[in-house]
Structure 1
Amino acid sequence: MSTHRLILGVQVLVGLLVLAEAFWWWERPSALSPWVQWSPSGTSAGFQIQDREPTTPAEGATATLTFAFTSDLHGRISNTRLLPERKPSGLAHLVTVLQGLRVEHSDLVLLDAGDTIQGDPASFYFSHVHPDSGQPLPVINAMNRLGYQAVVLGNHDFEPPVSVLQQTIADSEFSWLSGNAWLDREGRWLLPPYLVLELQGVRVGIVGFTTPGVPLWIDPERIAGLVFGDLVDSARKWSEILRERENVDLLIGVMHSGDDLRYDRDIAHLRKLPSPNAAGQVADHVPGYDLIVSGHAHKLRPRKPTSRLTRFRTPLLSPGSEGEGVSIARFTLEAREARWHLRDSHFEFHKAARKPDAPLLAELEPQLAEVERYLAEPTWIVLKTRPTRKQLNACGSALQHKAVAHAFGADATTLLPGSWFLVDLPQAELGQPVTRKHLFGWVPYDNTLVETELFRRQIVQLLETHRRRLLGRRVRYSGWLVPGGIAAVLEGDRLRLEQKNGSSVSDTDSLRVWLTNYHANGGSGLRDRALVHPTQIRRRTGVFLRELLFTWLQELPEPLPVECQSWLAESVVPT
């Protein structure tokens, strides 16, 4: 009996050592990290704490400072180009707005709260299809022309290849900031944490912060070795440094982080990550800041002019997304006893102009035209009519499984997003081929395919949102996966998994399952709720789901799925 227990104990110990080794291998900073030898170049280079002497304004002097903010641009230049929409948005629609503001406020400071270089077809094309164009990304060209002074690093900014992000930082005529992203655990900063400006005799500190939820969504090789610190701790650290060592008179925290602490908090804590959305917590609990700017959540507040923002102890402003306008903060300071004191504040929002700025579009025209040619590439499929949301989702689910099975094997099992984006189809496009442009509208996220090996209970857990939908309950669409290659049959209120031959998947069966990298990395918390161990991720293909869909529709290796035939049709002749 004792010998048996000894053998069992040794086996358990060996198992734990193997598990620990697997975790160590997965989580350790890679010696091949693309960030190991990197340091910022261009305007972001050469950061140092200056230990400045305090300013000494004349008694009774006043200064009025104006700041303009955008956030979550996601590469948007104009709603009139690439993927046309009705609502005016994009940097080209902010030109006249900013020109008017600068007539009144010549030293206006223009800042952005992150998620800048990913999310539109132009950024995708010049990051992944033609990254060696020798030109800055169109959004960076536009921001340079508009006179931005600083941009915060957002989570989506890590989605392009690392070389593209690093070159983008070098191409920018403004500073990239992050006060909580580090090259290693020794605290070498990835980017300058802050920028100090002298305006009308007032010293202004602008600190940038990146959501520490980056590892939940971004491929590990993109961020190998990087450390993302807690927002509250980092905000407190830089507040003390800027107030006590840099002697700033006004301090603004620009955060790529939402203000709802509960959102994604539990998901992050499963991975022992700090809360991703802590801007409100900073505004309530970290002293020293005169304004917190909150991006990431795509919120817009305030919409109407106001002199008070009272939801948090420190005023918190959210500038919206995709260049729908600019948020303005105006501060009046007065000098008393040889120090500047904040006297008045004012906040307002200016909508994007209806028409884009023609000179800026003309400057970007060669790049935009190249992307539009790429988007116009046709498939063998014709649009018969506008789909309903239900028709679009059913067709998309069937198409993506067929595309993956064609590329990676007929026996592929897929758990892929169940919701596609329903976009407006102009009447003129009916009867015309489906093009890349349509797929960018229906499948806007730049998700790649990841092969995993999962057990039945893990698959069932990943399909929990699908189960809830089958029961008629409301769900969060970002976590809705639909099965392909297997059937998920509702029995009572539980799911039973069936293979193609009709046999049930047992607890001991493991299946090769294809996920998007968003869900494989931890997006929506599915990976961690299903206890997917890193060693169960077999390979990351780098193949974009949207491009795989386009290839399938262009080659059409088999008939169109029946789920699509109510609104799509095969071409009679090549398109």
Structure 2
Amino acid sequence: MIKFSATLLATLIAASVNAATVDLRIMETTDLHSNMMDFDYYKDTATEKFGLVRTASLINDARNEVKNSVLVDNGDLIQGSPLADYISAKGLKAGDVHPVYKALNTLDYTVGTLGNHEFNYGLDYLKNALAGAKFPYVNANVIDARTKQPMFTPYLIKDTEVVDKDGKKQTLKIGYIGVVPPQIMGWDKANLSGKVTVNDITETVRKYVPEMREKGADVVVVLAHSGLSADPYKVMAENSVYYLSEIPGVNAIMFGHAHAVFPGKDFADIEGADIVSKGLISRKAR
């Protein structure tokens, strides 16, 4: 049985592995939008409001608080700041490393996924950018229009060495799957039409989770570049996190996209969401 709760910047999972109990903190960055420095280029002044250079200290603090942790990025990384605009105008050749990855590569990320803004500059630019990451990427619902197969690695299962509550080393098989809003087909039609199709977020995850479990995943983590909404379920929904939480076999969901603070009062009307202390929907884990 997997139990989960949340802390600032992280999700804490207590997992039973070979009759041992392991606490695992899953840390996430999302919607960085190429804001690497604590500097507002539009106002030409330093700022304390954003910048990975500041977030990095929070990541280090969160890591030092626990024995076991992993760090993931949830997308919308390569677009959204003057730095991103400059690099896109300059162009990325094969072998070039985008400045955002020069920064992220120093922080020991485990895996990343794509946000909708990753597609703003076209697929070739995206391919060259991702090549600079020293960590793998997963996305399961963007499909190559020619081959009808996933354009990216849909999921991965990573053997992760952890220390249980008795101080013994264990190996936890953590599965990661990524999804992006289907609306990218409209938002970036010029870049994507005829090249890719996009499947529904919820049904994509529902399809792959049993396969991930069959391949040995002890824990399944969904990296959903999607928001949390209580709207009735509909196919191809943009904000699907609530419905992902109902899929058997999903243990944790790392989400973003909406630029909202969760937990928080904005989510008070969503049934099952603990807006005081939990970082995830309070549902029985499966």
Matches of 1:255 and 1:246, distance apart in 2: 21
Give the alignment partner of residue 232 of structure 1, picking from 202, 213, 217: 202
Partner of 1:258: 227
Read off the aligned partner of 1:75 and give its amino acid letter: S
Q: Is 1:103 paired with 2:64?
A: yes
Contact map agreement 1:153 1:256 (CA 8 A) in 2:
yes
Q: Which residue of 1 aligns with 2:22?
A: 63
Any residues of structure 2 matched to 1:91-490 within 5 Å, and which? 91-105=52-66, 107-132=68-93, 135-184=96-145, 187-199=148-160, 200=162, 201-243=171-213, 245-260=214-229, 262=231, 274-283=236-245, 285-302=246-263, 311=270
Distance in 1, matches of 2:89 and 2:131, equals 18
- The residue type paired with residue 133 of structure 2 is S
Question: How many angstroms does 1:132 deviate by?
Answer: 4.7
* Contact in 1 for aligned 2:27/2:71 (Cα 8 Å): yes
The one-letter code matched in structure 2 to 1:177 is V
Separation in 1, partners of 2:123, 2:147 = 22
Q: What is the distance in 1 between the residues matched to 2:57 and 2:68?
A: 16
Letter in 1 for 2:41: L
Q: Deviations over 1:288-325 (max 9, x none)?
A: 11122221111121269xxxx99566x799xxxxxxxx
Between Structure 1 and Structure 2, which shows a larger proportion of helix residues? Answer: 1
What whole-Å deviation, never above 9, does each CA across 1:367-399 have from its counterpart, x for those lacking one?
xxxxxxxxxxxxxxxxxxxxxxxxxxxxxxxxx
- Equivalent residue number for residue 27 of structure 1: none
Q: Deviations over 1:502-527 (max 9, x none)?
A: xxxxxxxxxxxxxxxxxxxxxxxxxx
Output aligned runs, 1:556-575, within 5 Å: none
| Aligned residues of 2:23 and 2:68 also touching (Cα < 8 A) | no
Partners of 2:127 and 2:94 lie apart in 1 by 15
Structure-to-structure mapping, 1:490-501, within 5 angstroms: none
What are the within-5 Å matches in structure 2 for residues 16-31 of structure 1? none
8 Å Cα contact 1:68/1:110 also seen in 2 = yes
Change (3 A) 1:232 1:222: closer
Deviations 1:27-54 (A, max 9, x none): xxxxxxxxxxxxxxxxxxxxxxxxxxxx
Q: Write the distance in 2 (CA, Å) between the matches of 1:91 and 1:155.
A: 20
The Cα of 1:262 is off from its aligned counterpart by 4.6
User: In structure 2, what residue type is equivalent to 1:206?
Assistant: Y
Match of 2:36 in 1: 77
- Distance in structure 2 (CA, Å) of the matches to 1:119 and 1:193: 25
Question: SS of the residue aligned with 1:115?
Answer: coil
CA, structure 1 residues 132+188, in 2 after alignment: closer, same or farther (shift >3 Å)? Answer: closer
Given residue 213 of structure 1, which amino acid in structure 2 is its aligned partner? Q
Deviations 1:10-41 (A, max 9, x none): xxxxxxxxxxxxxxxxxxxxxxxxxxxxxxxx
Please state how far the C-alpha of 1:94 moved relative to its aligned partner.
Answer: 1.8
Q: Distance in 2 between matches of 1:158 and 1:293?
A: 20
Deviation per CA, 1:389-447, whole angstroms, max 9, x where unpaired? Answer: xxxxxxxxxxxxxxxxxxxxxxxxxxxxxxxxxxxxxxxxxxxxxxxxxxxxxxxxxxx
- Distance of 1:261 and 1:253 partners within structure 2: 19
- Give how far 1:77 is off: 0.8
CA pair 251-169 structure 1, distance change in 2 beyond 3 A: same
- Distance change >3 Å, CA 130–CA 70, structure 1 → 2: same
Q: Flag the 1:240–1:311 CA change in 2: closer, same or farther, 3 A.
A: farther
State the alpha-carbon separation in 2 of the partners of residues 124 and 276 from structure 1. Answer: 26
Greater RCO structure (CA 8 Å; 6+ sep): 2
Taking a change above 3 Å as real, the CA distance of residues 123 and 179 of structure 1, as seen in their structure-2 partners, is same
> TM-score, normalized by length of structure 2?
0.77
Unaligned runs of 5+ in 2: 1-15, 163-170
**Rg (Cα) greater in structure:** 1
**CA offset at residue 57 of structure 1?**
4.5
| Residues 80 and 297 (structure 1), Cα distance of their counterparts in 2 relative to 1, 3 Å cut | same
2:184 counterpart letter in structure 1: V
Partners of 2:274 and 2:200 lie apart in 1 by 19
Mapped to 2, the partners of 1:115 and 1:82 lie a distance apart of: 19
* Cα shift at 1:87: 3.8
Letter in 2 for 1:121: P
Q: Is the 8 A contact 2:94 2:128 kept in 1?
A: no
Maintained 8 Å contact 1:67/1:328: no
- In structure 1, the residue matched to 2:4 is none
Distance 1:129 1:145 in 2: 24
CA distance in 2, matches of 1:161, 1:261: 32
Alignment-derived partner of residue 553 in structure 1: none
Q: Measure how far apart 1:221 and its partner are.
A: 3.3
| Overall identity of the aligned pairs, in % | 26
- Cα distance in 2 for residues equivalent to 1:279 and 1:144: 28
Letter in 2 for 1:195: L
- In structure 2, the CA distance between the partners of 1:203 and 1:132, relative to structure 1 (3 Å rule), is closer
Q: CA deviation at 1:249?
A: 1.6
